[in-house]
Chain A
Amino acid sequence: MKKSTKVVYNHHINSNIAVTYIISNKKLTLVAALGVTIGIAIFIFMNSMAKGFDKSSAAAIFKTVPHIRIYKDAQISRNLLPENYHNTIPLIINPKIVAQSPNIINPKKIIETLQQQPDVTIVTSEVNTDIFINSGKTQIRGVAMGVDIKQADKMFNISSFVVDGQLNDLEKYPNGIFIGVGLADKMSLKKGDYIQVNSSKGISKSMKILGLFQTNNSNVDKKQTYIHINTARQLLAESNDYVSDIYVNINDYDHPETYAKRFGKLTGYVAEDWKTANATLMAASNMRRIIISFISLSILIVAGFGIYNILNMTIMQKINDIAILKAMGFKGKDVVRIFVQQALLIGILGIIIGLIAATLLISRLQHVYIGGDIGYFPVHYEPTMYIRGIIFGFIVTFLSGYIPAKKAANVDPVAILRK
């Protein structure tokens, strides 16, 4: 084609037309934008809430569970010969747990190695053992966590849920013990009382309650106790380098699986990440996440239908305009741009108001007290959810604008102008 004219200016006439349509159709625009607003607000709010729930339940878990726990698994006895070994007759034996001490050999070296791994924040060793607690005539089963106090406090922030006493006192009083408020309640104990602690090895110790803690997890508060790691070794009649568990915390606690795998290989022991250790909780959280994603996306898509409908309506109303524009030399893609821009402008308006609405919702509910384990409503401003909301919002508005716009682009001007 011969170019007889030089095109030098871009007057953005498509945008100009899109804006004019929006301004002259304020009511419809507002209704469509409101759909997006509600969709975006609910999407961001619900997803932030899901994340908040996950965070608060993780925080509760991390009061007692490390990101990765390394321990020695009990072994099941196996046939000495592999099955079908040279066509010999297989020997049938009863599989049973091999009597073996569950200690980790050379824990110092392993701890040092782990500390040098990238992303590892804290490594601490523990000696954990079941105990019986006697006070007067009552006897209760519990668990003694023999901890390296400084490291364990760094890892679990135990001091933050100690409600009575000083955790550091465990260093000074080797026969001191911290018990949960649930246990104290059940046995009517208080700080300063003495209790009799019996281990599975038959060793008995009189211990002084140095303080109480409260995790708000009633199971933990009723069973768990903290003692000095050396005291725990004594209860098990073990030497001073006996370690039953090595706990590791990492930076990226949300993805512990690969680290666990690596540490397992590195140490030769079982390395269990907190997600595996809390599989039921994780399943519930995944379920929650799926349901919330599903619902919030559905709401966004419904908002998209709103835009789709309103744009379809506008296009029906403007079918004459479209025919005229095409007759005057507007191309199919110009028509697409006019209506997609209209959709996007509606979308931007809806998204902006939606972001404000989501922020208001979150700021309100943050201050609602629920009580129990949860405390305040666990929802925070989650930038990733805001970004996701904006992205999904744009995708939905683009698609719901593009589909009718494409139809408009295919309008045959002759068919319209003849009438």
Chain B
Amino acid sequence: MKNIILEAQTLNKYFYEPTQFQVLKDVSFKAYQGEFLTLIGKSGSGKSTLLYLLSTMDTDYTGNLWIDKEKVTGLKQDTLAQIRNEKIGFVFQFHYLLPEFSCLKNVMIPALKLGQYSYEEIEQQAYQKLKILDLQDQALKPASKLSGGQQQRVAIARALINHPKIIMGDEPTGNLDSKNTRIVFDIFKQLSVEFGQTIIAVTHDNDFAKASDRIIEMQDGMIIS
């Protein structure tokens, strides 16, 4: 029996601006430890919205959400922040780095916040992650000096630094060429197989989705398959 790492139960969410509109309708599903999940669907079907809910950043919904057997619905913001820091790695749709820090420092920040390892250990690990993503030469450059694709890979390295139970990505390969998409896919695959980390990635790339463990398709705020 596989471990459930994330469970969503009848999630509903409305937007009230400009008019009332139900963006998520009774969304329920489970994600298992070590599973590589992809989330597909037409633009506007609610994939990003769902991902923000699952990441605990958006708390304005009804229904229930469990992460790592803990019910996170209704928890305080500070507690949720701690859970994100420890258990969730997030890759945004548009690369989001702190432009004034070096790539290495960007990768290190979540680990420095967590404080589980010494500075030297964290530096070592961050360098390791950058190396996996073929960015070791860029490590000390300021993040703002990198190309879009490079920045997105740095963001992926950052999502991995705390060895999170779940890695979520909103079109994490949207900005990458096929070679780099391949690298990212292989990394996700390896993380899920070797380290039992769960991947939940929104994608428009059909090949990417097909190669994953399971596809969840959304349409008009509902899971259709």
On A, residues with C-beta under 8 Å from B are: 1-2, 4-11, 13, 16-17, 20-21, 24, 320-321, 323-334, 413-414, 417-418
Contacts and interface: CB of A to CB of B under 8 A. Distances in A.
Contacts of B92: 324, 327, 417
B113 A328 contact: yes
B86 interface: yes
B84 A329 contact: yes
Interface size, B (range): 35 or more
8 contacts: A5-B86, A7-B115, A9-B117, A9-B119, A328-B109, A329-B110, A413-B57, A417-B57
* 6 A-B pairs with the lowest CB-CB distances in the bound complex, closest first: A329-B85, A11-B112, A9-B115, A329-B84, A13-B112, A24-B100
Contact of B78 (A6, A7, A332, A414): A332
Contact of A5 (B84, B114, B119): B114
A332 B57 CA distance: 13
A13 B86 contact: no
Contacts of A327: 55, 57, 84, 90, 92, 96
Given A327-B96, A329-B84, A330-B113, 14 more contacts: A1-B70, A1-B83, A4-B86, A5-B114, A5-B116, A324-B96, A328-B84, A329-B82, A329-B83, A330-B81, A331-B78, A331-B82, A417-B57, A417-B92
A413 B158 CA distance: 18
Contacts, number: 95
B101 interface: yes
B29 interface: no
A418 B78 CA distance: 21
A271 to B, nearest CB: 63
Contacts of A4: 68, 86-87
B58 interface: yes
Nearest to A409: B77
Interface in B137-182: 158
B48 interface: yes
A418 B96 CA distance: 11
A330 B100 CA distance: 18
Nearest to A321: B98
B118 interface: yes
Contacts of B225: none
Contacts of A7: 114-116
Interface in B69-111: 70, 75, 77-79, 81-87, 90, 92, 96-98, 100-101, 109-110
Nearest to A7: B115
Nearest to B53: A414
A83 B126 CA distance: 97
Contacts of A414: 52, 57-58
A6 B122 CA distance: 15
Contacts of B97: 324
Given A7-B114, A16-B112, A329-B86, A324 B98 contact: yes
A400 B156 CA distance: 37
Contacts of B118: 9
A1 B82 contact: yes
A188 to B, nearest CB: 82
Given A9-B119, A20-B101, A326 B112 contact: no
B55 to A, nearest CB: 7
Contacts of B100: 20-21, 24
A324 B89 CA distance: 12
B115 A8 contact: yes
Contacts of A328: 84-85, 90, 109-110, 113, 158
Contacts of A417: 52, 57, 92, 96
A220 to B, nearest CB: 68
B23 to A, nearest CB: 12
A2 B84 CA distance: 14
Contacts of A324: 92, 96-98
Contact of A11 (B68, B78, B81, B115): B115
Contacts of B57: 326-327, 413-414, 417
A2 B86 CA distance: 11
Contacts of B58: 414
A321 B96 CA distance: 8
A113 to B, nearest CB: 67
A417 B70 CA distance: 26
Given A1-B70, A328-B90, A320 B96 contact: yes
B94 to A, nearest CB: 8
Contact of A6 (B79, B83, B109, B116): B116
B16 to A, nearest CB: 14
Contacts of A1: 70, 75, 79, 82-83
A416 to B, nearest CB: 9
A189 B78 CA distance: 88
Contact of A333 (B78, B90, B112): B78
A7 B119 CA distance: 13
Nearest to A1: B79
Contacts of A9: 115-119
Nearest to B86: A5
A327 B81 CA distance: 7
Nearest to A13: B112
A321 B100 CA distance: 10
Contacts of B101: 20
A232 to B, nearest CB: 81
Contacts of A413: 57
B110 to A, nearest CB: 5
B93 to A, nearest CB: 8
Contacts of B158: 328
A6 B64 CA distance: 28
Contacts of B79: 1
Contacts of A320: 96
Contacts of A332: 77-78, 81
B12 to A, nearest CB: 17
